[in-house]
Amino acid sequence: MARINEYQGKALLRENGIAVPEGGPAFCAEEARRIAERIGAPVVLKAQVWVTGRFAKGLIRFAQSPAEAYEKAGALLGRMVNNFPVECLLVEKRLAVAGEYYAGIIISDTRQRPEIIFSAKGGTGIEEIAVKYPGSLARTSVKLSDGFREYHAGNMIRKTGISGAAQRSLADILVKLWKTARRCEARSAEINPILETTEGQFLAADCRITIDDYAVFRHPELGIDIAREFDHPPTELEKIAYDLEKNDYRGTFYFIQLEKCFRKGEKYVGFHGAGGGGSMMSMDAIQRQGYRIANFTDTSGNPPASKVYRAAKIILSQGGIDGYFGSGSGVASQEQVNSARGLVKAFREEALGVPAVVRLGGNMEDEAVGLLTRYTEDLPGAVEGYKKDDPAAFCAKRLDELIGKAARKSKNQKRIEYTSRDLLRHAKVPREFKTLTGRVVFDHDRCASCESKICIASCDCGVLRLNEGLPVLAIPAEKAARGGCTECLACELECWFKGRKGAFVELPIPGLAENESPRQPEQDQGARL
Amino acid sequence: MSILIDGTKKVLVQGITGREGGNRTRLMMEYGTRVTAGCTPGKGGREVLGVPVFDTVEEAVETRGEIDISVIFVPAPLVKNAALEAIEAGIRLLVLIPDRVPIYDVLEISEKAKEHGASFIGPNTLGLLSPGKATLGMIGGRAESARQWFEPGPVGVTSRSGGMTASVAYYLCRSGIGLSSIVHVGGDAVVGLPHPEIVRLFEQDPETKAIVMFGEIGTSQEETVADMIESGEVTKPLIAYIGGRQAKKGTRFSHAGAIIEGESGTWEGKVERLRNAGARVVEDFSEIPRVTLKVLREIKTL
Ligand code: SF4
Ligand code: SF4
């Protein structure tokens, strides 16, 4: 659930007609001073962080004068709260309180409808209040085609014993809160408290709104750059991973860094799962072996090889890991050959130096495991692949054994001299075409002397054909670029082992330093196929 | 017997001309599903794997006669339209495969389905499979592997984890336990037919003798199943595993959730509710086949 800050939430409420206290966001102490000056009355300074009980934690302060606001803002800004620095304060006019109420909206999975909750008693401790005074609570679910109208709200509030003008004002707020939630597709939205001033005005004194991750794409106006709930500000790698995912709808890729500062030998492994349920069990298995998990990664939903490749590259770029553990449900319905190819390409390019154990059980597991182990034999790190009858616990144990072995004989490690990435650099007659997220390049100089022409037969999608003995596109270039070439990586890998090393699939990962596009070949660059 | 799908049901594939739609149609047909029509707006008149493609669902129904089920393989933002179209054309069961369908879209689909007496599986589902009969969606990936992995028999499987659906089913079959149907209810917070609805169907299916449920933390599906056992609505033995024990206790995203749901949604809460109701809760995943075998012996089904 993508969370938005209180000040952003209040802006949404205001747009939908709900009164909020006078004020605005301040990103530095001077700004806080200016807002306090403009208000010309005592103010409250509220740190914009997602925690409950801000008042008790000293994250809400009062100031009598602009000078005091300046001073208190300086003390609050930059404080660390749950891994997040306080970067913004909401500076608002302090109000005289006559009453506090609660209004919330949530989506009920059992009723499959939005549900609206109102409490005649609001403020801190609302959950306890709800238990203690059930009579002060009213709830109703909304039929989307009917909507939620003033009389629905009035009938609801009535049950808590509120009538007359107060009922009318509160009903108005409830209806507008519903409109806000519906418009921005909120998973939850709440105002706590709705504040009644001594002058009889009703305002939203605090609010929390979370947006449906899956609907964020329809709401650029909300300015959410990562539609996920993180318990820390997104790291550089997480941003890189997220940006990749934004532009590729095939399958899903999820990457979270659990640890950043660790070194080799500290028993951290890179984790690459497939599917939430199986990943959870697999992480448990590796933790039982005494390892810690550097990152959580999930590629599932039948991802193409290119997505698995990028995920693996990002995992490996963390450095410092002692091993690579790939394990999902064990019996995957997705085509495991794609996963295997993605891993092989990443392992080769990174000249994998640590052991890797990958559980590739499921659809096409024999081909997948064969490919994974055969094509990584020359790498310094040992790579083992397992199938559906090999439990996660066994695979975790294998990884532990391999890591132990690697530590004992680290001196005479094999090295690989040349990777397919270098190939692009030295290509004499490069010919290329675009794919959905990258490009395929052939060095026709090498192809000319190639006997196997294995690239053609390896391309199951029928994207390639021979023209005068050289591989060229068999389908229109636009079609290849729109997904006709599935980025399965078969041509590159098969060519590397059975051809003349003349094929390379370039899949950029913007922002990943090691992956900067290799130097373009000098002559004749980028000629189209 | 089986629930929801067998070889007699007539199936429509929406989005049949896409990459996933085409591949999965092949799997379904090779496994024994009667795919009678496909639908992709703007591509009417073509054929995919010998299946005629229509521009609209209504046209497909008019031309091919009544259709029982529609399997939807269109991009997530288009799922709502495709689903509403199928429901209004009179199709009573939908399978919404895509992931990332906005939740308000799901709520709208749910409302329309209720009005028309239709139901749906998913979204974010691998689908379902009745061993030896037919399948909807992508469980098994290929017909050949699905045939090797799953055997018909007396146990119904319902799962909230996509990846684990095939795993649970495979490990059961490997231990000699056949299955009536395998259902992935979908991984999202709101799904059309959650565990309680699938368990109810297994309860009504005369050939299902026991039920295996792979639950997860979050939502109140497993708690509702516990209620059903307690009230006597579910009488068949139920073996349950709840994933997500290791997940750190999720911080609630709002007070509203806590006010409404109370303790439901946590691993401990679910395990306790199910145990108290009389379900066999298995804490080690690899124990599921052994415990299931034991239960089948107890009820003399083996
Ligand atoms: S196999 Fe490699 S070297 Fe041979 S023709 Fe194909 S791309 Fe060129
Ligand atoms: S050209 Fe063919 S073999 Fe190469 S990546 Fe594309 S689809 Fe795969």
* Per-residue model confidence as pLDDT tens digits over A31-88: 999 999 999 999 999 999 887 778 888 999 999 999 999 999 999 999 988 778 899 9
| Closest Cβ opposite residue B220 in set A110, A190, A333 | A110
Q: Is residue A252 part of a domain?
A: yes
Instruction: Please give the Cα distance from B232 to A475 (Å, whole number).
Output: 61
Of A156, A191, A222, the residue at which a domain comes to its end is A222
Q: How far apart are CA B261 and CA B154, in angstroms?
A: 34
Shared-domain flag, residues A260 and A403: yes
CATH number assigned to the domain comprising residue A114: 3.30.470.20
From A500, A501, A504, A529, mutation site for ligand 1 pocket: most ligand atoms within 8 A of C-beta: A500
User: What is the Cβ-side half-sphere exposure of residue A288, based on CA atoms within 13 angstroms?
Assistant: 14
Ligand 1 pocket mutation pick from A453, A470, A494 by most atoms within 8 angstroms of CB? A453
Counting ligand 2 atoms within 8 A of each CB, the residue from A337, A458, A463 with the most, and so the one to mutate, is: A463
Ligand 2: residue whose CA is nearest its atom 6:
A485
Q: Is A82 on the interface with B (CB under 8 A)?
A: no
Lowest mean pLDDT among A224-238, B182-196, B263-277: A224-238
Residues contacting A213, CB < 8 A, separation 6+: A1, A2, A227, A228, B100
Q: Give the mean model confidence (pLDDT) for residues A336-353.
A: 93
Exposed, middle or buried, B63 (CB in 10 Å: 0-12/13-18/19+)? exposed
Q: Within a domain: residue A347?
A: yes
Evaluate whether residue A339 is within a structural domain: yes
Those residues whose C-beta lies under 8 Å from the C-beta of residue B300, and which sit 6 or more positions away, are: none
pLDDT at A412 over 70: no
Chain A residue numbers touching B76 (CB-CB < 8 A): 214, 249
Whether B100 has its CB under 8 Å from any CB of chain A: the answer is yes
Q: Residue A133 is part of which domain span?
A: 97-222
| Final residue of a structural domain among A408, A442, A471 | A408
Contact A329 B167 (CB under 8 A): yes
* Residues contacting A38, CB < 8 A, separation 6+: none
* pLDDT over 90, % of chain B: 77
A390 and A279, same structural domain?
A: yes
B250 interface with A at CB cutoff 8 Å: no
The answer for residues whose C-beta is within 8 angstroms of residue A6's C-beta and 6 or more apart is: A46, A48, A90, A206, A207, A208
Residue B179's nearest CA partner among B97, B239, B93 is B239
Which tens digit of pLDDT belongs to each residue from B78-107? 999 999 999 999 999 999 999 889 999 999
A339 or B265, higher pLDDT? A339
Torsion sign over Cα A335, A340, A346, A349: negative
Phi, psi of A240 (to 5 degrees): -60, -45
Is the distance from CB of A372 to CB of A383 less than 8 angstroms?
yes
As for the ipTM of the complex, it is 0.89
Option in A280, A287, A363 nearest B141 (CB): A363
- Contact A182/B at CB under 8 A: yes
Does residue A477 carry a pLDDT above 80?
yes
Check CB contact of A187 with chain B, cutoff 8 Å.
yes
Section B153-175 average pLDDT:
92
Per-residue confidence (pLDDT) for residue A465, from 0 to 100: 94
Least confident of A76-90, A462-476, B223-237: A76-90
**Does residue A42 contact residue A94 with C-beta atoms inside 8 Å?**
yes
Q: Known catalytic residue: B255?
A: yes
Q: How confident is the model at residue A520 (pLDDT cuts 50, 70, 90)?
A: very low
Whether A123 maps to a domain, the answer reads yes
Q: Whose CA is nearest to atom 2 of ligand 2?
A: A459
Query: Of A346, A379, A408, which residue is a domain's last?
Result: A408
The three state secondary structure string of A274-311 is CCHHHHHHHHHHHHHCCCEEEEEEEEECCCCHHHHHHH
The pLDDT confidence band at residue A253, using thresholds 50, 70 and 90, is confident
Using the predicted structure, report yes or no on whether residue A522 has a pLDDT greater than 90. Answer: no
Q: Which domains does chain B have, with CATH numbers?
A: 10-121 (3.40.50.720), 150-298 (3.40.50.261)
Residues near ligand 2 (Cβ within 6 A): A 440, 458-459, 461, 463-464, 485-491, 505
3-state secondary structure labels for all residues of chain B: CCCCCCCCCEEEEECCCCHHHHHHHHHHHHHCCEEEEEECCCCCCCEECCEEEECCHHHHHHHHCCCCEEEECCCHHHHHHHHHHHHHCCCCEEEECCCCCCHHHHHHHHHHHHHHCCEEECCCCCEEEECCCEEEECCCCCHHHHHHHCCEEEEEEEECCHHHHHHHHHHHHHCCCCEEEEEECCCCCCCCCCHHHHHHHHHHCCCCCEEEEEEECCCCHHHHHHHHHHCCCCCCCEEEEEECCCCCCCCCCCHHHHHHHCCCCCHHHHHHHHHHHCCEECCCHHHHHHHHHHHHHHCCCC
Gap from CA of A474 to ligand 1 centroid (Å): 15
Residue A188 has pLDDT above 70, yes or no: yes
Q: CB–CB of B205/B235 below 8 Å?
A: no
Mean pLDDT of B242-256: 59
Name residue B12's amino acid.
L
Residue A4 covered by a domain:
no
Tell me whether residue A329 is in a domain. yes
- The pLDDT assigned to A528 comes to 55
* Cα of A466 from ligand 2 centre, angstroms: 14
How far apart (Å, rounded) are the C-alpha atoms in residues A21 and A41? Answer: 12
The answer to whether A401 faces chain B, any CB pair under 8 Å, is: no
Judged by DSSP in three states, A389 sits in: coil
Determine the pLDDT at residue A411.
Answer: 52
Pair A472, A371 in one domain: no
Domain match, A26 and A42 both: yes
Q: What is the mean pLDDT of chain A?
A: 88
Q: B-contacting residues of A 434-493, CB under 8 Å?
A: 483, 486
Same domain for A426 and A404 = no
A384 found inside a domain: yes
Residue A25 CA to residue A35 CA, distance in Å, equals: 9
- Residue A393: give its domain's CATH number: 3.40.50.261
Predicted confidence at residue A413, as pLDDT, reads: 57
Atom of ligand 1 nearest to the CA of A500: 3
A195 and A240 share a domain?
A: no
Q: What chain A residue is nearest to B160 in terms of C-alpha separation? A: A277
Backbone torsion region of residue B118, taken as left when φ is above 0, otherwise alpha when ψ lies between -120 and 50, otherwise beta: beta
Q: Does the residue A17 lie in any domain?
A: no
Does A244 share its domain with A136? no
Kindly report the nearest CA distance between residue B24 and chain A, in angstroms. Answer: 11
pLDDT grade, residue B249 (50/70/90)?
A: very low
- Same domain, yes or no: A255 and A371: yes
Residue A116 shares a structural domain with residue A217: yes
Domain count, chain A: 4
Chain B residues within an 8 Å CB radius of A136: none
CATH number of the domain at A83, please: 3.30.1490.20
Q: What is the Cα–Cα distance from A417 to A406, expressed in whole angstroms? A: 20
Q: Judge if A511 and A468 occupy the same domain.
A: yes
pLDDT in tens, A209-228: 999 988 988 888 887 766 66
This prediction has a pTM of: 0.85
Verify that A78 and A203 share a domain, yes or no: no
Q: Shortest CB distance from A283 goes to which of B126, B246, B256? A: B246
Query: Do residue A245 and residue A312 come from a single domain?
Result: yes
